[in-house]
């Protein structure tokens, strides 16, 4: 397992993250086995959000692992807030209330990281900064970040926050690559050259912000996995399977390794609750894909190079 030290923090985090959005599908016993197996694989980072299961995922996690100080010190725990029923809310009151609820459900005194879940166009940076200051001073949150933000939204927020944002969680998979596409087709009249996300990949690298890739096996926005989709991604699956055979791993590991190979030191958020798939994915943490293999996979997904 590869570990990285996000800039502006004293954290040492695995580049594989266990995402906890779907864990209520597991029994307490099954989840306990799953979490401990992840720890044995070297995964030390666990990602939550107050909206996952309406808070039930956080409760289920804490109860299943029998959360206590000994177990807690083995984990880097992150949660997210800001999504409400039909709107977004980055008000000071909501952030503070959300964190108190998260801590209660997770049965922990602090979060290693808190992310603002999706951009709130009504956000007031000074108000958010005040909420962050209170949470930090009270020892409830160590580090802060965002999710699904573009560069200017981060700049707007960062102008009021004295410490740098540490994380930005963004959708990225072989079959969903807008943060890469436009940078490879600059100044061209193609759909691929359209800059949808404001060069967020390069921005995060310039600012030493760690990107966390969610939905690493999805095509589009929750349109299903590309692995095994021979109707739309036959060529991609053929290439992934061939490279997987070369490295004696599964295509799941290669799909993860394609992301972790990038020099941006991207973390991969696994959403699976399948134990074997999680173990297979962990083998992609340090997969030594060559440049040729990386670009072959990229092109097999239907992308072009000039």
Residue range 211-236: mean pLDDT, rounded: 93
- Checking if the pLDDT of 197 tops 80, the result is yes
Give the per-residue pLDDT at 221. 79
Residue range 166-189: mean pLDDT, rounded: 95
Residue range 294-298: mean pLDDT, rounded: 98
Give the per-residue pLDDT at 83. 97
Give the per-residue pLDDT at 222. 77
Residue range 208-222: mean pLDDT, rounded: 93
Give the per-residue pLDDT at 223. 81
Distances in Å between the alpha carbon of 238 and those of 178, 193, 233, 235?
Answer: 23, 26, 9, 5
- Tens of pLDDT, residues 131-154: 999 999 999 999 999 999 999 999
Give the per-residue pLDDT at 220. 79
- Checking if the pLDDT of 180 tops 90, the result is yes
Q: What is the mean pLDDT of the chain?
A: 97
Give the per-residue pLDDT at 144. 98
Give the per-residue pLDDT at 177. 97
> What is the rounded distance in angstroms from the CA atom of residue 15 to the CA atom of residue 282?
9
Q: Assign 112 a pLDDT band (cuts: 50, 70, 90).
A: very high
Domains and CATH numbers, the chain: 3-300 (3.20.20.100)
- Checking if the pLDDT of 128 tops 80, the result is yes
- Checking if the pLDDT of 230 tops 80, the result is yes
- Tens of pLDDT, residues 45-77: 999 999 999 999 999 999 999 999 999 999 999
């Amino acid at each position: 397992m590869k570990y990285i030290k996000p800039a502006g923090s004293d954290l040492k985090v695995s580049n594989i993250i266990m995402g906890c959005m779907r864990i209520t599908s597991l029994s307490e016993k099954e989840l306990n086995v799953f979490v401990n197996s992840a720890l044995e694989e070297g995964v030390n980072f666990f990602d939550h959000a107050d909206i996952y299961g309406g808070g039930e995922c956080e409760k289920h996690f804490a109860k299943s692992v029998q959360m206590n100080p000994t177990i807690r010190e083995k984990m880097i725990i992150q949660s997210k807030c800001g999504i409400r029923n039909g709107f977004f809310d980055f008000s000071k009151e909501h952030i503070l209330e959300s964190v108190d609820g998260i801590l209660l459900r997770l049965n922990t005194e602090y979060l290693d990281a808190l992310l603002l879940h999706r951009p709130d166009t009504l956000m007031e940076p000074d108000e958010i900064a005040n909420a962050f200051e209170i949470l930090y001073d009270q020892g409830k949150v160590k580090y802060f970040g965002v999710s699904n933000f573009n560069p200017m939204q981060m700049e707007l927020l960062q102008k009021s926050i004295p410490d740098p944002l540490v994380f930005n969680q963004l959708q990225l998979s072989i079959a969903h690559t807008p943060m890469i596409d436009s940078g490879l087709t600059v100044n061209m009249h193609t759909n691929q050259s359209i800059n949808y996300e404001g060069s967020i990949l390069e921005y995060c690298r310039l600012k030493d912000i760690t990107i966390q890739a969610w939905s690493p096996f999805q095509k589009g926005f929750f349109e299903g996995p590309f692995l095994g989709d021979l109707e739309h991604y036959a060529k991609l699956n053929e290439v992934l399977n061939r490279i997987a055979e070369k490295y004696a791993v599964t295509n799941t590991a290669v799909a993860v390794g394609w992301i972790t190979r990038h020099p941006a030191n991207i973390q991969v958020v696994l959403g699976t609750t399948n134990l074997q798939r999680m173990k297979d994915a962990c083998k992609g943490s340090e997969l030594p894909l060559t440049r040729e293999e990386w670009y072959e996979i990229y092109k097999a997904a239907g992308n072009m190079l000039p």
